[in-house]
Structure 1
Amino acid sequence: MGRLRGGICIKEFDMERYAELRNQYSRFFYRGFEVEKTPTELKITYHFEIEGLAEFAPCWTFPRPEGGGEPDEKLIFSLGLVELISYWKIACPPQVVVEAGELDEDQIRWWKHLYFNGLGEFFYVNNIKEADPENFMEIRCAGREDSAGTAAAWEKNVPARSISQGVLVPIGGGKDSVVTLDLLRRAGLPAYGYIINPRGATVNTAGAAGLGEGRVMSVRRTLDPNMLELNRRGYLNGHTPFSALVAFSSLIAARLLNLSYVALSNESSANESTVAGSTVNHQYSKSFEFEQDFHDYVLRYLPGNAYYFSLLRPLSEFQIAKYFAGLKQYHPIFRSCNAGSKTDSWCGHCPKCLFVYLILSPFLSREAVRDIFGRDMLEDETLKGTLDQLTGVVEEKPFECVGSRDEVNTAIVLTIGRLEQEHRPLPALLAYYKGLNLYETYQKAGDHYSAYCDTRNLLPDFLMDLVRKYCVETA
């Protein structure tokens, strides 16, 4: 039997399994990659191997627009360094041998930092307590390049960056990328959509934003079936830093489209740890720490590629929801539910659904929110445990992309206040919440999110002014 953490079952034997697998399968190889080009496609196949267990050949397929640029081998090699972590985690071999390209000592430290923090949830949920930042992995590289002078070369060869040519926006189908697209529209900047493995919500979002066929790059990422089979057979599995894949792959997409800017939709709320008092963060690769690290890495090792930043970094989920509430054309089509992703629906029962329901509730009528989800989640008393996770009654938030504990509490208190002003009865979850000590605390604190602005960001100045104008209230 296992026990639950963050709604996820933790198997008691996983730490022993971790040690056993590392002993049995001690080396992971990044053998190389193949690039196949046709007039219309760029296909990249990576080759990985867990020695003595299995070989893997995942693929990425990008469209090649006519007259587009070409990504260089270092960028393609780098995407493989992110992709490999999904396969390494099957047995967590202590040694990773990189044969596909060159890394210097600083790069090795950078990648180990990303892997360890990006796998924080994986280690935590699988009860792998013995993993530490130094010894969980040794990266060996057949050839190590000398990076001396690389940064200086960047300064001399930086291309002309014209944001007026357009901005690439990764579209996930949720409210955040919608807000980014709408803000860029207000700024008069052409947006280009970037979609990995298109589904209903991502395609519909691009359509609602007015992005025609030539303004959307849809790519296919194909997992190797050997990994899926090993997962089925009980080898180690869990969360990996998917947003790091978005980061590196979006630079390839931007190069193919001849664009010099990539605008993510990650907010400041992503910086909060999932487990209180720890560094375990489901959203690590959406955090500002990763954004800054990625920016510095590209500057030093991948010069000439697009400038990567998150347009929503100064904002909280609360402010994003407030802005999104006014974009009613997107309300019927946006989706953020992982459980319902295959059917392009809201399941109406998971932590992500409840979070989005709560964060929109101060800004939309009860009927409008109910219509989005197809049911009144606030009347579902089986979700009390999930509510406790989202508000901080328990130390672990759900392992989902959800906002901070403080802003969830703020949203709930404001919703209660509005319903009481309207002399409407409180639904079951809000009546339950009003009986908690949290209610009095956050009622006294009031709304301090509408005027919130995180200055730790990489926004160009004029876009910072845009975000302040439309999303940050002033006294």
Structure 2
Amino acid sequence: MASFDDASVDGDTLGGAFAALELVPDTLTYTRCTIAQDADKTWRVAYAYSFCGGPEAWMKVTLPPRDAMNDECRRVLAHAGLVLLCWPWMATPCRKIVCKATALTADQRQFWADFYREAFAEFALHNNLDEDACDIEVEAELAEDAEPVAAQHQGDVRVLCGLGGGKDSLVAWLLSTRQPRVSTVDWLYVDDGGDEYENSKRLQGVVRTAGGAAYLAKHDFSNLTESTYRTPCGHPWAALCAFDGVGVAALLGYDGFVVGHERSAAEGNGVFFGGREVNHQFDKSLAWEAALRSYLGRLSSVSYVSPLQPLWDLQVAGVFCLEVSLRPFYSLFRSCNDSGDCDAWCGACAKCAFVFCALSAFRDDASRIFHGVDLYGEPDMIPFFEELVGSEKAMDCVGTARETALALALARRRRKVIGVALAAFTDGNVRHAHLLIERGAAASAPAWWDSNVLESLDSVKALAALHAQIEEERSKGTYVNRLCAALPTEPVDPSGWTRRSDGQ
């Protein structure tokens, strides 16, 4: 496995014996991973990559201070470089990947071959690459198979929650705080450059409101060669956050890393490449998380916890909107990827359209986060709503077509004035209401995590009551377009809304 050379002048070098560059055609090599500590005890990790034996390109990440770094953390960080490899690959797509930074077992090589097939599919589709472009050969020194790392949980449990800024991470945080054995719930924000957390009122507001400490994993991609391809898309951010999260948790002595990935992520986008359906969110799916959990379990004792997997995205939105303790976060959450500002909604993309649908299914004031603009009444939003209910799912983190149809119907049920979109895509009938109470398979969870906490939430009971009400109306044939009782809400700060004017 990875080797550690504490005497290296460059810091702590992983896999130094395998770091020599070789001129290999059409090959991207992960040459080495170095770890060094600054005077303030902050950790700096650098990942080196070489295309066809050429000069090394570096990506770096800065991690929180700690006196020492244990071997569990070092192993996870070394393997994280195989996720980061996706960034330079999209500048120089090739059929072979060589890992010299750490040895891999046969199962681990297969894990990465499967991972790259999924991770590169969206990029290959949009850039018209050959259909076998994602069939990547992974080469590495053969490592011996390892048993899962045993976890020692005595007494209270400490967890880190991934801070994404959206509703999912907040619901995952809520479930963490309700766990009987969990004593500490803190935050980890994975920054892709530009001091996002330090410059964000919203993210800091979430942490201040929730409580707990906030730690940062700050990436630096500035040394990468700019891609010559027109669409360098589909970067596996959730996978990177998983490795960063487990690595930082191991560094700081936490027992678990908690994420907010829901069931909808497992559904693909309805388009195919090389005979396989493309899934923009594959690295949030239950199946991939199961493989990831097995992989990480042989590197670290930290548990990777994904408690929202049984829920549809719309159910998560229902919990977020209806749970009293989450009301203060309504003006703080953001999950738009197109605004260019993690404090803002663009109000002109598929993600904004879906979030508006999901919120307006349960609240009367969804327009307040968009400066009072009712997106259902905006003609230029019609194509996004049409896409959301269509057969091809948007290449974004959105729910399924059935969820969108249900959200639109629930929103129409609440309103006196329905707007263009609701008139176009609903007929007054509430279909797919079972999605409000349906449960999918749960992700594997550690013994200290109580999955029954989810069912004890008042918001989950409210969703069940709403479903029962809809079914009663359907059985009587008496659909009533009535306003539900308005929920007490916290004041919403609309300053984070900016409509894009670039026409995209």
Q: Same fold (TM over 0.5)?
A: yes
| More moved, 241-250 vs 87-96 | 87-96
Give, in whole Å, the separation in 2 of the partners of 1:185 and 1:159.
21
* Letter of the 2:33 counterpart: F
Tell me the amino acid that sits aligned with residue 458 of structure 1: S
User: What displacement does 1:349 show?
Assistant: 0.8
Please state how far the C-alpha of 1:404 moved relative to its aligned partner.
Answer: 1.3
Tell me what 1:196 maps to.
190
- In structure 1, the partner of 2:349 is 350
1:399 is matched by which residue type in structure 2?
A: M
Answer whether contact 2:405 2:425 (CA < 8 A) is retained: no
8 Å CA contact 2:335–2:342 kept in 1: the answer is: no
Shift of 1:288: 0.7
Is residue 238 from structure 1 mapped to residue 233 from structure 2 by the alignment? Answer: yes
Q: Secondary structure at the match of 1:445?
A: coil
Q: CA deviation at 1:29?
A: 1.3
Shift of 1:237: 1.9
Aligned CA-pair RMSD: 2.3
| 1:131, distance to aligned residue in structure 2 (A) | 2.1
**Aligned mates of 1:444, 1:430 — CA distance in 2:** 12
- Deviation at residue 130 of structure 1 after TM alignment: 1.8
Q: Which residue of 2 aligns with 1:6?
A: none
Partners of 2:287 and 2:203 in 1: CA distance? 27
Quote the residue 2:27 is aligned against. Answer: 27
In 2: Cα distance, 1:351 partner to 1:241 partner = 19
Q: How high is the TM-score relative to the length of structure 1?
A: 0.83
Q: Of 397, 407, 410, which residue of structure 2 is paired with 1:414?
A: 410
Give me the TM-score of the superposition, normalised by structure 2: 0.78
Instruction: Say yes or no: does 1:318 pair with 2:307.
Output: no
- Residues 162 and 194 from structure 1, CA distance in 2 versus in 1: closer, same or farther, beyond 3 angstroms? farther
Q: Distance in 1 between matches of 2:132 and 2:269?
A: 18
Report the Cα offset of residue 196 of structure 1. Answer: 1.1
What is the percentage of aligned positions where both structures have the same residue? 25
Residue 163 of structure 1 contacts residue 260 of structure 1 at CA under 8 Å; is this kept in 2? no
Counterpart of 1:388 in structure 2 is 386
Retained in 1: the 8 A contact 2:73–2:250? no
User: Structure 2: 5+ residue runs without aligned partners?
Assistant: 1-23, 469-504
- Which residue does the alignment assign to 2:439? 453
Query: What does 1:111-190 correspond to in 2, within 5 Å?
Result: 111-131=112-132, 136-141=135-140, 143-147=141-145, 150-151=146-147, 154=148, 158-161=150-153, 164-187=156-179, 189=182, 190=184
Equivalent position of 2:211 in the other structure? 210
- 2: distance between equivalents of 1:354 and 1:129? 33
Question: 2:18 maps to what in 1?
Answer: none
Q: Is the Cα contact below 8 Å between 1:123 and 1:131 reproduced in 2?
A: no
Q: Given the superposition, is the C-alpha separation of residues 338 and 72 from structure 1 closer, same or farther in structure 2, using an over 3 Å criterion?
A: closer
Q: Distance in 2 between matches of 1:163 and 1:294?
A: 27
In the TM superposition, residue 126 of structure 1 has moved relative to its aligned partner by 1.8
Secondary structure in 2 aligned to 1:342?
A: coil
Counterpart of 2:367 in 1: which secondary structure? helix
**1:9 is matched with which residue?**
none
Q: Are 2:41 and 1:74 equivalent residues in the alignment?
A: no
Residues 369-408 of structure 1: pairs in structure 2 closer than 5 A: 369-374=366-371, 375-392=373-390, 395-408=391-404
Give the whole-Å Cα distance in 2 for the aligned partners of 1:226 and 1:403.
33
Partner of 1:340: 339
Asked if the contact 2:315/2:435 (under 8 Å) is kept, the reply is: yes
What's the counterpart of residue 90 of structure 1? Answer: 91
Matched, 1:465 2:466: no
Q: Distance in 2 between matches of 1:203 and 1:305?
A: 29
Secondary structure in 2 aligned to 1:187? coil
Q: How many residues align?
A: 421
User: In 1, distance between residues paired with 2:410 and 2:431?
Assistant: 11
- Cα 1:33–1:460, aligned 2, differ >3 Å: closer, same or farther? closer
Asked whether the 8 Å contact 1:91–1:235 carries over to 2, the reply is no
Instruction: Give the stretch that moved more between structures: 62-71 or 88-97.
Output: 62-71
Name the counterpart of 2:361.
Answer: 362
Equivalence for 1:252:
247
Mean Cα deviation higher: 316-325 or 183-192: 183-192
**Which has more helix, going by share of residues?**
1
**8 A Cα contact 1:59 1:222, kept in partner:** yes
Partner SS for 1:48 = strand
Deviation at 1:184, TM superposition (A): 2.1
Whole-angstrom distance in 2 between the partners of 1:379 and 1:460: 46
In 2: Cα distance, 1:144 partner to 1:397 partner = 40
Farther off after superposition, 170-179 or 119-128: 119-128
Q: Structure 1 counterpart of 2:186, which letter?
A: Y
Report the residue type matching 2:31 in the other structure. R
Runs of 5+ in structure 1 lacking a partner? 1-23
CA separation in 1, counterparts of 2:442 and 2:179?
Answer: 21
- Provide the secondary structure at the position in 1 that maps to 2:363: coil
Task: Please give the per-residue CA displacement for 1:394-431, whole angstroms capped at 9, x wherever unaligned.
Answer: x3211110011111111111111222xxxx12111111
Q: State the Cα distance separating 1:357 from its structure 2 match.
A: 0.3
CA offset digits 1:195-234 (Å, max 9, x no partner): 01243233222222112xxx2211211103332xx22x54
Three-state SS of the structure 1 residue aligned to 2:224 is: helix
Offset of residue 74 of structure 1: 2.3
Q: Equivalent residues in 2 for 1:243-322 (5 A)? A: 243-275=238-270, 279-299=277-297, 301-302=298-299, 304-322=300-318
Query: How many angstroms apart in 2 are the aligned matches of 1:68 and 1:428?
Result: 57
What is the alpha-carbon distance in structure 2 between the residues aligned to residue 353 and residue 262 of structure 1? 27
Rounded Cα–Cα distance in structure 1 between residues aligned with 2:114 and 2:178: 37
The superposition leaves residues 61-102 of structure 1 with CA deviations (integer Å, 9 ceiling, x where unpaired) of 001246875644322210111111111121212222221111
Q: 1:72 to 1:175 in 2, by over 3 A?
A: closer
Deviation of 1:298 after TM superposition, in Å, equals 2.0
1:433 aligns with 2:425: yes
Residue-by-residue CA offset, 1:94-148 (whole Å, 9 max, x unaligned): 2222211111222111101011112221122222242266xx322222x21121x
Aligned partners of 1:452 and 1:472 also within 8 Å: no
